[in-house]
Amino acid sequence: MEQDRMKIYGIAAILLIIVAGISSFWLLEDLSADELMIIQSPVSGELTVHTRPGIKWQGFGSVTKYSKLETYEFEIPVRFNDGGNGTIHGSINYENPLDRDNMLELHTKYGSQESIQKDLIEVVTNKCVYMTGPLMSSKESYAEKRTNLIFYIEDQITKGVYKTIQKDLKVKDPVTGQDKTVTVAEISMKEGAPERQEVAVLGSLGIKTSNFAVTKLPYGLYRDWE
């Protein structure tokens, strides 16, 4: 009888260890230094934001991890005011916010790091590139306004899209040499500063951007960025 009892105790102890081992995957979660994490309680649904590395209490809740810093690499078509076109290749770094309110807003709207990049960072960057093209001609984009191209895109990403004024100008076609009328966009200025047609979406959500860079710009009709 004593031996049977010991066997039962032994089996129970083994089962307890197995259950504890399995449960540990749902009780605790490790957070690395380059990530932040949101845990949703399975009972109350309360969302807890963790930004400091270490072991965190999970309590059988669902875990979503985000990168503190990510890089978005892009290839975006651009069309200039003379009808020329190209593809801007480059990258931009972005940091997710570390404060609770902004991070919870991002989490409830997008739900994952992949969605933040695809549905937010990519959309904003594409729009700013699209809005920058009409501000210059193809020739200007690789000559006198080459640095402006980068500045205009980055400035709109961080501070909001420009409000512009449309004007018709007569220019020579760089291919045929014939005069043609093109519609160009000029930045609307007020008290020496560009007017914005909308607030900076990324900034309003606490996302910081840095190191915007253009690596090359192949043109459809003109020369490459070199």
Q: What is the predicted pLDDT for the residue at 5?
A: 59
Q: What is the predicted pLDDT for the residue at 83?
A: 81
Q: Which residue has the higher pLDDT, 77 or 23?
A: 77
Distance between CA atoms of residues 174 and 156, nearest Å: 29
Q: What is the predicted pLDDT for the residue at 142?
A: 84
Sheet with strand 85-95: strands edge to edge: 69-79, 85-95, 208-216
74-120 confidence digits (pLDDT tens): 999 999 988 889 999 999 999 999 999 999 999 999 999 999 999 99
Q: What is the predicted pLDDT for the residue at 10?
A: 57
Share of the chain above pLDDT 90, in %: 65
Confidence grade of residue 4 (pLDDT, cut at 50, 70, 90): low
Q: What is the predicted pLDDT for the residue at 113?
A: 97
29-77 confidence digits (pLDDT tens): 999 999 999 999 998 989 999 999 999 999 889 999 999 999 999 999 9
Burial 2-37 (b: 16+ CB within 10 A, else e): eeeeeeeeeeeeeeeeeeeeeeeeeeebebeeebbb
Q: What is the predicted pLDDT for the residue at 223?
A: 47
Give SS3 for 75: strand
133-157 confidence digits (pLDDT tens): 999 988 888 888 889 999 999 999 9
Using alpha carbons, select from 197, 199, 177 the residue that is nearest to residue 188: 197
The DSSP call for residue 225 is P
Q: What is the predicted pLDDT for the residue at 107?
A: 97
156-198 confidence digits (pLDDT tens): 999 999 999 988 877 666 667 777 777 788 999 999 999 999 8
